Amino acid sequence: MRIVPVLLYAAAVAAYAAHFAWRDIRVGRLASALLGGGLLAHTFLIGMQTVQAGHAPLVGTTAAVSAFVWLLGLAYLYLELSFDERSMGPFVTILLVVLGVIPALDPGISPRPQVLQSPLFTLHVMAILFAYASFALACVLGITYVLLFNEIKAKHLGVFYARLPSLRVLDVMNGRAVAVGWIFLTLGVAIGGVWASQVQGSPDPRAQAMSVADPKILIALVSWGVYSFALYARRAIGWNGRRAAWISAIGFGIVLLNFVPVGYFLTKSHNF
């Protein structure tokens, strides 16, 4: 059952790539349907895990990756339906498959220790994951912006010019994705701070390790600083377009660094 969403996401990659190449509306609808099917299967899987564990499956990095993949797929599908634009589909669904393999290969559900049984923990994780999903979309939009910009600059109007939205549309979408992500990241960091202050007296060594010195928390704050600068630079000094696109890509690189390697190997406070 765990492999079904990943298989559907992989099929969606092929369909989105075919639609990108041929611009066939029927293939595009098939790609959207496959993505929707993958999200339904993923939703059913998360529901089963919730019933089995008795709580939302958000404990541990593997569970967080699964929830992130689900949220990213939902966010992209909403974006696609809102703008009736599927050209970013291959880029997003590849990310879904690459990260979706991690929870598919780890069938266990981590028990929820006492220190995590606060509603603030669930709110903190969901806000952070939704922020990361928004930043992933901003990264994809930024990369496609740069690809299209380079093609136009070289005066060689080819694949990307014919298939991607205009530079202005990509830039506007990028700015919105960063703004939404920043709001949820701010909420997640604030809620996490309140929750950490409440569990400081816990005998759990992971609760005692919650401080700015922990790499997971430190890099999350660095990410907040990067995206805060991105918003400030866009509005105050006119850093939009290609500069905003590169900041989005760099910011999401930091997010991925914090999400996977730091989450698995370096943190002492978030290794539940």
pLDDT at 260: 84
The confidence score (pLDDT) of residue 54 equals 85
* Alpha carbons 125 and 132: distance in angstroms, whole number: 10
Residue with the bigger pLDDT between 208 and 257: it is 257
In angstroms, rounded to a whole number, what is the distance separating the alpha carbons of residues 57 and 49? 6
Percent of the chain scored above 90 by pLDDT?
69
pLDDT of residue 271: 67
Please state the rounded mean pLDDT for residues 35-54: 94
* Predicted confidence (pLDDT) at residue 272 exceeds the cutoff of 70: no
More confident residue, 252 or 266: 252
CA distance linking residue 19 with residue 30, whole number of Å: 9
Q: What average pLDDT does range 60-86 have in this prediction? A: 92
Give the position of tokens 């939205």: 165
- Report the pLDDT value the prediction gives residue 174, as an integer from 0 to 100: 96
Per-residue pLDDT at 56 exceeds 90:
no
- The whole-number pLDDT of residue 107 equals 66
Range with lowest mean pLDDT among 27-41, 110-124, 164-178, 231-245: 110-124
Lowest mean pLDDT among 16-20, 71-75, 146-150, 202-206: 202-206
Measured CA to CA, the distance from residue 190 to residue 120 in angstroms comes to 10
Phi, psi (deg, nearest 5) at residue 154? -75, -5
Region 19-36: mean pLDDT is 95
- Could you identify the residue written with the tokens 């930024």? 142
Mean pLDDT in residue range 159-188: 95
Q: Round the average pLDDT of the chain to a whole number and report it.
A: 92
The pLDDT score that the predictor gives to residue 153 is: 92
Q: For residue 46, what pLDDT band results from cuts at 50, 70 and 90?
A: very high
Residue 148: C-alpha distances to residues 20, 114, 145, 151, 241 (Å): 14, 50, 5, 5, 11
Rounded Cα distance, 227 and 251, in Å: 7
Q: How far apart are CA 102 and CA 70, in angstroms?
A: 13
Q: How many Cβ atoms are within 10 Å of 133's Cβ, its own excluded?
A: 24
pLDDT at 158 over 80: yes
- What confidence score (pLDDT) does residue 59 get? 87
Q: What mean pLDDT do residues 101-107 have? A: 85
Q: Phi/psi of residue 87, each to 5°?
A: -70, -20
Query: Is the CA virtual torsion 219, 108, 52, 115 positive or negative?
Result: negative
pLDDT tens-digit map of 193-242: 998 888 887 887 777 778 888 899 999 999 999 999 999 999 999 999 99
pLDDT over 70 at 98, yes or no: yes
Per the CB < 8 A criterion, the answer to whether 249 and 87 are in contact is: no
